[in-house]
Structure 1
């Protein structure tokens, strides 16, 4: 499990979303773990299986291009970042807080391999227009792969689902029902001897910018998790963000449908490439 810090830039994005009235919410769920956090816009995100297939297709097309130059392409084995909501409202696991404080656990796996300079130049199309007498495609071999695998992507707003995810989080963070939950959390923390106005401030305390978590950091993180669970901060945030996401999904239904239709087409192309 990875502990995700709060991103301060999100807090200024509310102006991007239409509709200023706070939407009504349903029953407040009790959220005890990050696995309980399921949101309406999740269905518009790529699954890990889809991302893996698309990555394989890029490797197939890219390697085919590189071989025209007598070069070989092997993708780095670095793991893909998780798309889980586990840490969306910061860590809820007492064991993680006790061990790691607010430090994120480093992803495992081998370090990425270093490409030779000539292979990197051809792959990215940087600083080279031809190699061994063969013209290098615009954007390099990766550019060629993208054009083959993502035709017409400029005609849709491919990043819309992620953009709406950020907007909904920013709106949720400033919603009066969430700030009231934060106030209850702050009171709980004060009873334990810690003074923070809200969980983001605790998670982003400059004192935690160290190589390893200090005893003070882990003690704060443990108290933070306990107070979040006692006051059900994540449950309130989930109910509120669900309402904002549903509103955003309804407002952008046509564009989101176009994104999903394109994603299915893209997947079909990738599957055909990988299967030869």
Structure 2
């Protein structure tokens, strides 16, 4: 309710692409909305690495996103699509752009479509509350007795596999696993990590603990969050209407 799912983001982005296309059409230019690449599976690392296939193939690295080939754009399309950004550094100080006698939005059709669609649904105060709750609940959850207990079980499981980590976040943040070439050792460690999470039900226990904490925090800011949630739903509804009429 207070944040968007991957599916929600796809609906919103697709609607913004349609608005961009319509803006380009106003200038007599074609624009084919691009499709989002398929989202990588289980990329939410809030509770550490949890996807076994990803661990076996990429270790702790984020799997590469599938590239979506962009249709080649002409200079005119680039100019109208990106506006002043198409001019490079210092573009914001340049005079307004035109195309065939029509003024181009400073942000270009893309920026104008995105900003214009999002602006009515912005709620800075509500977003700050949601962000604060997300951050504080995560930090607090790591001190919860149930989470500390499952960390110990996970750590014990890892020791049985010859790895010494106090928490799953320690493994995820190992310096050698953050940079340089992906090694066989990293992949083996990641696989052991996920296996121990599965054996101990760590993600589920951690999620339940944090959810309980969040519910208590939400009660103190329910008015702001209800307003934010309402705007999210209105934004999604508007996006779906745009797609339905495309």
User: Could you tell me which of 200, 206, 210 is aligned with 1:241?
Assistant: 210
Match of 1:139?
107
In structure 1, the gaps of 5 or more residues are: 1-42
Query: Using a 3 Å threshold, how does the CA distance of structure 1 residues 118 and 250 change in structure 2: closer, same or farther?
Result: farther
Match of 1:74?
32
String of CA shifts for 1:104-130, please: whole Å, max 9, x gaps.
322335344564454334323323622
Number of aligned positions between the proteins: 233
Could you say what the CA RMSD is over the residues aligned between the two structures, in angstroms? 3.2
Structure 2 distance, partners of 1:158, 1:73, is 35
Given that 1:71 and 1:119 are in contact with CA atoms closer than 8 Å, whether structure 2 keeps it comes out as: yes
Deviation at 1:239, TM superposition (A): 2.2
Deviation at 1:241, TM superposition (A): 0.6
Structure 1 distance, partners of 2:77, 2:133, is 37
Given that 2:137 and 2:213 are in contact with CA atoms closer than 8 Å, whether structure 1 keeps it comes out as: yes
Given that 1:60 and 1:273 are in contact with CA atoms closer than 8 Å, whether structure 2 keeps it comes out as: yes
User: Could you tell me which of 111, 114, 117 is aligned with 1:149?
Assistant: 117
In structure 2, the gaps of 5 or more residues are: 85-90
Match of 1:259?
228
Structure 2 distance, partners of 1:56, 1:259, is 22
Given that 1:124 and 1:143 are in contact with CA atoms closer than 8 Å, whether structure 2 keeps it comes out as: yes
The worse-fitting range, judged by mean Cα deviation, of 43-52 and 82-91 is 82-91
With normalisation by structure 1, the TM-score equals 0.68
Match of 1:219?
188
Structure 1 distance, partners of 2:221, 2:162, is 45
Query: Using a 3 Å threshold, how does the CA distance of structure 1 residues 122 and 89 change in structure 2: closer, same or farther?
Result: same
SS of residue paired to 2:142? helix
Higher RCO (C-alpha 8 Å, min separation 6): 1
Structure having the higher helix fraction is 2
Query: Using a 3 Å threshold, how does the CA distance of structure 1 residues 115 and 257 change in structure 2: closer, same or farther?
Result: farther
Given that 1:78 and 1:111 are in contact with CA atoms closer than 8 Å, whether structure 2 keeps it comes out as: no
Deviation at 1:237, TM superposition (A): 0.9
Given that 2:54 and 2:63 are in contact with CA atoms closer than 8 Å, whether structure 1 keeps it comes out as: no
Query: Using a 3 Å threshold, how does the CA distance of structure 1 residues 205 and 72 change in structure 2: closer, same or farther?
Result: same
Deviation at 1:141, TM superposition (A): 1.8
Match of 1:201?
170
